[in-house]
Structure 1
Amino acid sequence: METSEHIKALEAEGELLAVAAEEAGPDAKVPTCPGWEVRDLLRHTGMVHRWATAFVAEGHTSYQPDGGLPDLDGDELLAWFRVGHRALVETLSTAPPDVDCWSFLPAPSPLAFWARRQAHETAVHRFDAEAARSGTPGEIGRDFAADGIDELLRGFHARSKSKVRSVEPRVLRVRATDTDAVWTVRLSAEPPVTEQDGTGEADCEISGPAARLYMSLWNRLPFPRVTGDSSLAALWRERSAVT
């Protein structure tokens, strides 16, 4: 996906998140984030938006801590979220393509990284807000979902922080059945190594439509279909949380 497409997705997902949060109310439980209420979701996502904005707008070339969670609630919290989301969209939309700032996953440029990361951050938490509102969360586009799976598997879980590891070498395959996208995840005592490839044997395969796979790999939904050794799917559930 292009950076402009990620920015457009970020804009739409943030607006949907705010609408769902307002309709659910700050006290509503977030079933996809145990222990959280909607106010926690708004505080967290709004903080992340401001944190990301600062890197691009201020050109920080090294890690900077976030500004912490606001002591706001109700209408004030919702307004604060909307202001931060709008500032992030505007910052990314107007930043020069060659802006130099810190990022933490491989990408064609820092701007491409932040647009992609914040689009997916916001989409997952939009799903959370809609789950808190009750009813069926809105659909996620197939290509956007496949892009999010790729970011998760080849970005987050290629890092040394990933806890998805196995004493014995194992192979997990992830297949989006409504696209041509297939990933082979090689597990060992080291961080996972993932390739966009569907050849060779796999010990376990997780498959389903891209949008469903996307949310299940982010531990928001059950896996659509698991074949082979289901202990690898359980391993993912137990150890894949990103903090």
Structure 2
Amino acid sequence: MSRQRLMQARQFYSPHSSVITPQLAFARWTERVAVQTELGSAREIAGLSDAELCTLEAEFERSPVRPRSDRLRHAFRLGAVLVTVGGFCLALQALTVGFGDGAYRVTQLLSMACVLAGVCALVAGAYAGFGTLHLELAHGTVGLYVGQLNEQHPWLYDSMAAARNPSADKYRQQVLRDRGPLRGADCILMREIVRAQEALERTQWARTVAEQVQRQVSAADAAGAEPRLIRVGSRHDHRAASGRRAGEPN
């Protein structure tokens, strides 16, 4: 039994108070993104108001790396200090008086105990760090979801490509009209709309699709579809054509 298994058992239902600090709100969204699917997280975040999204975006700009709040967050630093101090004491004792003198055996034991405690602290800190690695990744994912699709966002061109679809562009216009600037979560939803449209097209009959693919465009359809490019002659060709027209009888 783990926290993720318990969240799956209750379908990731985790209610919380609406009046919370931006730090706590971002931390809770990080936990939800870590256990939910991409689409589920995107449609929840996209439903927030523009003020809430701006608050989360400002919090990510303030802290782009997830701050650790567990009890072992300083274990790695403490372990490094203990190992350094213990190793320095052992090296100093070996260079000055050696390890054979019984009067300095207590110092030797304390130095070795310091090194052993430092190693244990390093192992505990590394274990705790790897245990929260999924939250570190989810923290950056939330930042991508709540960030505006500006020139700094990595999903800018993906959103432009998705907006070429009429249904996705309709969603884009609705978001701009009702909520505000587009966010990273909106890019995921637009891509899902495009994916759904492609899946719907794949349900057509194979014979109908084959007829559309093999249909030959007639001359009338080609003329009415779009204007063709014409060849532009040189100045010499224009003068020759003007001379021929001038020499023709009226």
TM-score range, shorter chain: under 0.3
TM-score by length of structure 1 reads 0.22
TM-score by length of structure 2 reads 0.22
The structure where helix makes up a greater share of residues is 2
The structure number with the bigger radius of gyration is 2
Higher relative contact order (CA closer than 8 Å, sequence separation 6+) = 2
The structure where strand makes up a greater share of residues is 1
